[in-house]
Amino acid sequence: MKQLQCATFEGIEATQIRVEATFTKGLPSFTIVGVVNTAIHEAKERVKSALLSNDFSFPPKRVTVNLSPSDIKKEGTQFDLAIALLIALNQQEAALQDWFVFGELGLDGTVKENALFFPLILSLANQGRIHKAIVPNESIAKLSAIPSVNFVGVSTLTEALGVLRSEQPIFTCKQRTPAHPSITIHETEYFFMRSYTDDFSDVKGQELAKRAALIAASGMHNLLLEGSPGCGKSMIAKRLRPILPPLLQTEMLEIAKLQILEGKEPTFEPLRTFRAPHHSATNASIFGGGSHKAQIGEVGLSNKGILFFDELPHFSKSALESLREPLEDGKIRIARVNSKVEYETDFLFVAAMNPCPCGNLLSKEKVCRCSDVEIQRYKNRLSEPFLDRIDLYVQMQPVSATDSTSLSSKALHEKVIEAFRKQKQRGQQRLNGRLNDREIEQFCTLSTDARTVLDKAVHSFALSFRSIKKVQKVARTIADLDHATHIEKTHLLEALSFRRR
């Protein structure tokens, strides 16, 4: 029995699949088993045509191809080339050990690309399961971005056979490194972009909100902006994306993987994602779901980037409460009858809301039309446990004709990069907003005066345990922006000023 390696999806992660073939005596037949879908059943006709079109004789035996393990549902056209190679080599010796093979076959034996090859191989590489692979030549440009894997590009079934028979020299593609600005910290390289199409210099006034945006970007702290319509809430949220912290190459590849799963062409740029679902979106589209297969939703697609909820109180109660788990744990679990999938959700949550249903409660010129009952009902849509997961709360000021421009996105990005550098130089694996309890004790050290202020705030404001930790993490980021080694009194007081009252 001969075998090659391939893969299929379980959720958004790949599972290694062994492609096995046996040739036994009996009436000629060709069967593919192993819980396969229609696309794989149709592979029989593509494989037969490709073999016969290239002067290969189809063995007059009972040909059985098994995709193992058999309890996992397989789908996709990536198995075509592996099946054809096993049949063509049925009476020949070839070194098949450890070879992964991905390719869709044309009827004439050409090897075609499939958009899902990149996320499949990237997932296998992250698991440390793949070291060398035969892939279509068309895929090489994308796949060369994946480190630690040697790829051999082929255009036809005959070329692939030559590689396995060792008749043709194996030319592996050269690994591609990102051509973007970068910083190196402890021998690790982080990449970023200097492109600011939407600039913070367009936002006039709102200095407090800009300061909160800088802190949020520097430590990946969740941010809630409250203010009258037209005061700049959405402008600030959309300008956060270009100033977010640098990315590892592996994180850039994860973002490219999500772009492909969404049906987009990957950019391979160190630019984090920005997802902004409408408040009328269903829970399934936000969190993922599906009756037979758990599909990824907006929360999963926003991993490593920003998830922006505009008009926050208009989202359904169930959506807001379901958001508590990914905000707290950095993961979301989708359970269905046929599948259970877990997605990573390490995103910066940004939300915007009006102070009342009509939006004029904070205005000095317009009259609010809402009653006290309507305002209270509007605010009650946001539960305390949900709001307790917000790090920074800003009540924005009304727009004034005298407002002027201050810092640009480039200047803010430089501050973010410096704060990022300090966090990594301390040995942090995660940014301040994602520190766990043990890491808070290690990295968020308070001066004597700051400790006294925090103790008083705990008793005065009845802070929950979660709120105390969030204040410490925000104060740590403020201290980093101030180039301070320890959290001082002024840093803690500013962190407390952003607490929702």
Give one word for 230, left, alpha or beta, with left for phi > 0 and alpha for psi -120 to 50. Answer: left
Q: For residues 392 and 444, state if they share a domain.
A: no
pLDDT above 90 for 226: yes
424 within some domain: no
Q: For residues 351 and 456, state if they share a domain.
A: no
244 within some domain: yes
pLDDT of residue 168: 57
Condensed to tens digits (0 to 9), the pLDDT of residues 190-199 reads 999 999 998 9
| Mean pLDDT over the full length of the chain | 91
Q: For residues 381 and 235, state if they share a domain.
A: yes
170 within some domain: no
pLDDT of residue 57: 84
Among 371, 390, 417, the domain-final residue is 417
With b for 16 or more beta-carbon neighbours within 10 A and e for fewer, the 334-370 pattern comes to: beeeeeebebebbbbbbbbbbbbbbbbbbbeeeebeb
pLDDT of residue 205: 87
pLDDT of residue 290: 67
Lowest model confidence (mean pLDDT) among 60-69, 82-91, 338-347: 338-347
Q: For residues 264 and 336, state if they share a domain.
A: yes
Which residue range is the domain that position 136 belongs to? 2-164
pLDDT above 80 for 459: yes
Q: For residues 336 and 477, state if they share a domain.
A: no
pLDDT of residue 196: 92
Q: How many CB atoms lie within 10 A of CB 150?
A: 12
| Coil, strand or helix at 274 | strand
178 within some domain: no
This prediction's pTM: 0.90
Q: For residues 373 and 288, state if they share a domain.
A: yes
pLDDT of residue 134: 94
Q: For residues 16 and 129, state if they share a domain.
A: yes
Q: How many CA atoms lie within 13 A of 147 on its CB side?
A: 10
Please report, for the domain that includes residue 460, its CATH number: 1.10.8.60
Mean pLDDT across 326-346 = 82
pLDDT of residue 458: 93
Q: For residues 116 and 222, state if they share a domain.
A: no
Mean pLDDT across 312-320 = 95
> What are the C-alpha distances in Å from 402 to residues 71, 210, 367?
68, 17, 22
Q: For residues 479 and 405, state if they share a domain.
A: no
Binned at pLDDT 50, 70 and 90, residue 71 comes out as: confident
56 within some domain: yes
pLDDT above 90 for 84: yes
pLDDT above 90 for 224: yes
Nearest to 156 by CA among 134, 179, 126, 183: 134
Q: For residues 202 and 294, state if they share a domain.
A: yes
Binned at pLDDT 50, 70 and 90, residue 240 comes out as: very high
Q: How many CA atoms lie within 13 A of 254 on its CB side?
A: 19
Binned at pLDDT 50, 70 and 90, residue 147 comes out as: confident
pLDDT of residue 223: 97
Per the structure, the count of domains in the chain is: 3
pLDDT of residue 294: 67
Binned at pLDDT 50, 70 and 90, residue 365 comes out as: confident
Binned at pLDDT 50, 70 and 90, residue 446 comes out as: very high
Binned at pLDDT 50, 70 and 90, residue 482 comes out as: very high
Mean pLDDT across 121-126 = 93
Q: For residues 226 and 360, state if they share a domain.
A: yes
pLDDT above 70 for 293: no
177 within some domain: no
Which residues are paired to 15 by β-bridges? 8
Q: How far apart are CA 330 and CA 42, in angstroms?
A: 40
Among 417, 447, 468, the domain-final residue is 417
pLDDT of residue 337: 64
Quick one: how far is CA 415 from the chain centroid?
Answer: 24
Q: For residues 13 and 46, state if they share a domain.
A: yes
Among 358, 389, 417, the domain-final residue is 417
| Coil, strand or helix at 256 | helix
Mean pLDDT across 40-46 = 93
Binned at pLDDT 50, 70 and 90, residue 263 comes out as: confident
Q: How many CB atoms lie within 10 A of CB 34?
A: 21
pLDDT of residue 406: 82
pLDDT of residue 174: 61
Query: Which has more pLDDT, 177 or 284?
Result: 284
Q: How far apart are CA 295 and CA 300, in angstroms?
A: 10
Please report, for the domain that includes residue 130, its CATH number: 3.30.230.10
Mean pLDDT across 160-187 = 77
- CA-based torsion, 67, 69, 74, 79: positive or negative: negative
Mean pLDDT across 67-94 = 90
422 within some domain: no
Question: What percent of the chain stands above pLDDT 90?
Answer: 73
325 within some domain: yes
Binned at pLDDT 50, 70 and 90, residue 124 comes out as: very high
- Secondary structure letter of residue 95 according to DSSP: -
Please report, for the domain that includes residue 201, its CATH number: 3.40.50.300
pLDDT above 60 for 60: yes
pLDDT above 60 for 354: yes
